[in-house]
Amino acid sequence: MIKTVLKWAGSKARLSAKLREYLPEGDRLVEPFGGSCAVMMNTDYPEYLVADVNLDLINLYQVIQEDAQGFIDSAQALFMTANTPEQYLEFRQVFNHTCADRFRRAVIFLYLNRHCFNGLCRYNRAGFFNVPYGKYKAPYFPEEEIRAFAEKAKRATFICADFHETLRLVRSGDVVYCDPPYLPEKGKDAFTNYHSGEFGKREHLSLAVNVRRIGQSGIPVVISNSIRAAEINLYHGSMWPKLTRHAVLAPVAIAPKPQGKFWRQLRLRKPCFLGIRSESVTRRGAE
């Protein structure tokens, strides 16, 4: 497993080996929900088109792609000199209100990601990053991960776009992998605030219609989500009469409320599903 530059809620890094079994060969992997780029880093396609609606995320990837060494030098210096709650809040304020330079903004974005609580990427409705300080003694600086990313990024194009725009760029020879935010369980909240917008049932329905159209054109589409009925019904049944569903056990780390000074980490195994448009897909390793 190749680790990613960012800590990321919902990362598929630990699922990458299992996921590769269901991703067919192709000329290019298209990801409308790029996130941490765990899938890009753990697959080997000739080309990648990675999109996300989070401009800060895409800007970070583009900056590393353009000048990895300069980025490492600047970010490492910040990591070495700014690990107090006061400094964290100061840089968060700069990031939210005054930082317009895209290189500097990428450096601060990595700093915030590695110093904030649980590596969350969360924005309020005004578009401000609002995750509190994480209180880590020595936040890890991902130099090796940045260098590995920069090497893989030579094959990639990164765009800030929603799934509608991204899926319009799909062409013959592509493989499409979609990992949209999960719908919340009934009576519970789900974390989908990766940017200042929302991704609810309406967006899932629109995505289902779009990927169905692409699948019908003969381009393989793989979708991952939770195994609850709400998600399955959106992407299965009459909408996808020839979709094959595979259940996969995904490890999930959960941090409950603090007890005194300490945070307990629980390790669970939670099922998710991979929905695969099966007409034109051969599972890797199958004859």
- Residues making up the annotated binding site are 8, 12, 52, 179
Distance CA 115, CA 83 (A): 8
Distance CA 94, CA 89 (A): 9
CB 277 within 8 A of CB 248: no
* Token pair for 195: 């940017």
- Residues making up the annotated binding site for S-adenosyl-L-methionine are 8, 12, 52, 179
Reduce the DSSP state of residue 260 to 3 states and report it: coil
Distance CA 233, CA 65 (A): 39
CB 184 within 8 A of CB 190: yes
Give which of 181, 203, 209 is closest to 121, Cα–Cα. 181
- Write down the H helix ranges in 23-101: 38-41, 55-66, 68-81, 85-97
Q: C-alpha distances in angstroms, 34 versus 20, 178, 256, 286?
A: 16, 9, 27, 27
